Structure 1
Amino acid sequence: MKVLLATDGSETALAATKTVEQLAEHNSIDVTVVTVSYDPQRYQFQPWVPEWTEQENARTAKILASAERTLDRTCQTVSIKQVSGAVVPAILDEAKKRKVDLIVMGAKGHSAIGRLLLGSVSDSVASNANCSVLVVRPSDTFDFDRIVVGYDKSVASREAVAELMQMKLDDETHLDVVSVAEQPYVYVGEGFAGPPITLGPEHIQPIEETGERMASQIAEHYHHTHSHTPVAAHVGEAIVRQAEATNASLILVGDTGHGMLGELFLGSTSKYVLRHAPCSVWISRHHTETTDGATTQDATTEVSDAVATN
C-alpha cells in the first residue's frame, strides 16, 4: 500500500505518524512523509525572506527526520519531502502525483461554526481527495481494536469493507457493522414535520438481513463481528452513536460523493461522521478504482475475495 502521511509536527500529526507505524507492523507500506510550508515567493520583496526560509527549512527538516526515524522500523520504504504553497492543494497534488492509496493525517479539531464556515485542513483533504483518507484523532492507543463499519449495500460501502479486509488486523479485532434504517421525514415550510410513516418490521427486516450477511462474511476472519440495525433520522448520527457506545477506535465509511448542493445543504454521511466522530475516521474511496461498469455483485465478490485471502 502506498501511503502519504501529511505532518506538521503537532500532537495530532504525531498520532497520525504512530498510526502509520502501527499499520506497517503487519502490512507492507511504502510511505511518503510530506510537510507543507508557506510559499516564500509570496513575500519576495520582504527583507526577512532569507532568514525566514532558513529557519523554516531547519524546522521542517527536524519534523521530517523525526517521522522518518519513527517509520523506518516498520515501513517497507520511507521517503520525505518538503513542499511549499497552500496546504490542502499541496497535499492533494502530492498524493495525486505519487498515486497513493491512502492519505493519513491528524485532525486538529475546530468549533462547530469554524467547521461549517471555514473547514479544517483534514476536512478539506478528506472531502477533495481522489483516494481514501484516514483522519486520526489522538488516543491512548493506536491499535484499531474496535471498528465501526457503516454499511448500506452500496458499491461504495461494500468496497470500503473490501479495502479494510485487505489490511491485516489483529485476529481479536471487534467489528460492528451498522446498517441504518433511515426514518423519512416531511419538509414543510421552514422545518421538518413528523415522519410520514412509522417503520415497521417489514421495513427494517430487509436492511437488517443485508447487514447480517455482510457481518457474516467479515466474521469468517474476524470472529468478533456483529451487525446492528438502528432506526434513525440521520445515518451519520447513528453511526457516530454506535462508535460512542462501544468506545470504538475507528469508523470506516465509504464515500459515494455528492453534488455541490448536496454537500452544502444536506451533508453526506461521510462528512457528518468525519466532523462528529469521537475517534479516527477512515473515508474509503476504494470504489473509485473500479471500472465504470462495476456492479454491486462485483463489490460482493471483492469482499469475499478479500476475506478469503486475509
Structure 2
Amino acid sequence: MMQILVGVDQQPGPVVSLLKRLHFPYAHYEVVHTLSAGDYLSYGIEGARTPDDVERIVSTENRQARQLAENAGRLLVREGEPHPVGDVLFGHPTEALLRRADSLRVELLAINASHTHSESAAALTGSVARGVAMGAHQSVLIARPSVLFQADDQPVRAVFATDHSDYANRCLETLVDFAPQGLSHLLVTTAAPEKELEVVDRELPELGISVSASVRRALERRNQTVAHSLARELTHVSIETALYTQPIHEAIERALDQASADLLIVGAKGHSLLERLTLGSVSLHQALSGPSSVLILRH
C-alpha cells in the first residue's frame, strides 16, 4: 500500500487530475485542507460579538473545510474504489502538512503549485510549495495546470532529468516502486553545457583529444544504461534518451518540449537537515519556477 497525503485549496486544483492520470496502484489517499488563524479572521471571527458567534463561525469554517477535502477525495478515486479519508489541519499550511506527512509515514506528499484567486494567495502558496519541497522527508509532487493535457484519463508524458549521481540513480528505485500505471512516455535526459566543456578543451590542448566529445559520449552511454534499467521494470512505458548542450535549465525546457511532457521528475538529495535545506538548485528552481508539474523523488 502506497500512502499519499494530498493537500488541496479552495478548489481541488491540478493535483487531483495529475494523481488520477498517474494512477499509482494500491494507493491509499488522505486528502486535507489546512485552516490557519487568517482563515477564521477573513471569515469574520474578528467582528464576532459573542462566544456563540465565534463558535458558529469556527464550526461553519471547519465543516466547509472538511467538505472541501472530502469532495476532492471523491474525485480522486475510480468507480467502486473506497473514498479517501478527508480531514482538516490547523496552523501554518507548510508546518501542518509536514507534520501530518511524517505522522502518517507517507511515501508521497502531493500539493498544488499555486492559487489563482489573488496575488497574495499565490505568494502564500509559493512559500508553501517552497517549504514543502525543502522540508519534506518524503517524495513531493507539485502540480501545475497542464496546457497540454486536460482530461483525467490522458496518460502522462514525463522527463527524468539526471546528473547520474549515485543518489539520482537510487531515486529511480523510488520511481519503480511507485510504478505509476498512467505514465506512458519517459525521456531520460542530462545536460552537458557546451560552453563549459569548450573551456576544458581550451585549457587542456596537450591531451590531443576532445574532452567535451568524450564527456558527451560517456553521458549518452549513462543515459542509455538508465533507460535500459527502467525499461526492464516499467514495461508499459516508452523510454527514450536525449543529451543537450544548453545550460541545465534551458536543457530541461527543451526536453519537456521535445517530449510533449507536462511532468518533470528529478531526484532531491536527501534526508539530513542540510540536504533538505539545500535540496539542489535544479530541483528547487523547477519546483518553484518551472513551467511544468514536478515530482521530486527521495530515496
Instruction: With the length of structure 2 as denominator, give the TM-score of the two structures.
Output: 0.76
CA pair 229-40 structure 1, distance change in 2 beyond 3 A: closer
For residue 91 of structure 1, what is the aligned residue in structure 2?
97
- In structure 1, distance between residues paired with 2:236 and 2:16: 26
Deviation at 1:196, TM superposition (A): 2.8
- Which ranges of structure 2 fall in alignment gaps of 5 or more residues? 49-53, 202-210
- In structure 2, distance between residues paired with 1:40 and 1:223: 45
- Which ranges of structure 1 fall in alignment gaps of 5 or more residues? 186-193, 288-310
Preserved CA contact (<8 Å) 1:208 1:228: yes
Structure 1 vs Structure 2 CA RMSD: 3.5
- Structure 1 counterpart of 2:95, one-letter code: P
What is the identity percentage for the equivalent residue pairs of Structure 1 and Structure 2?
Answer: 24
2:141 pairs with 1:128: no
1:81 alignment partner, one of 79, 82, 87:
87
- Structure 1 counterpart of 2:139, one-letter code: S
For residue 278 of structure 1, what is the aligned residue in structure 2?
291
Deviation at 1:248, TM superposition (A): 0.2
Preserved CA contact (<8 Å) 1:240 1:273: no
2:217 pairs with 1:205: yes
Deviation at 1:200, TM superposition (A): 2.5
1:35 alignment partner, one of 33, 36, 61:
33
Matches within 5 A, 1:152-231: 152-170=163-181, 173-182=184-193, 196-198=199-201, 200-220=212-232, 221-222=235-236, 224-231=238-245
CA pair 109-66 structure 1, distance change in 2 beyond 3 A: closer
Question: Per-residue displacement from partner, 1:72-106 (whole Å, max 9, x unpaired)?
Answer: 54656621211111111011111011110001111
Secondary structure, aligned partner of 2:261: coil
- In structure 2, distance between residues paired with 1:32 and 1:171: 20
- In structure 2, distance between residues paired with 1:134 and 1:18: 12
- Structure 2 counterpart of 1:61, one-letter code: R
Deviation at 1:50, TM superposition (A): 3.0
For residue 71 of structure 1, what is the aligned residue in structure 2?
76
2:13 pairs with 1:2: no
Question: Per-residue displacement from partner, 1:236-260 (whole Å, max 9, x unpaired)?
Answer: 4312321133320211100025959
CA pair 116-58 structure 1, distance change in 2 beyond 3 A: closer
- In structure 2, distance between residues paired with 1:78 and 1:102: 15
Preserved CA contact (<8 Å) 2:74 2:84: no
For residue 101 of structure 1, what is the aligned residue in structure 2?
107
Secondary structure, aligned partner of 1:200: helix
Deviation at 1:8, TM superposition (A): 1.6
For residue 162 of structure 2, what is the aligned residue in structure 1?
151
Deviation at 1:183, TM superposition (A): 5.1
Task: Give the number of equivalent residue pairs.
Answer: 268
Preserved CA contact (<8 Å) 1:270 1:283: yes
- In structure 2, distance between residues paired with 1:68 and 1:223: 27
- In structure 1, distance between residues paired with 2:39 and 2:73: 28
Instruction: With the length of structure 1 as denominator, give the TM-score of the two structures.
Output: 0.74
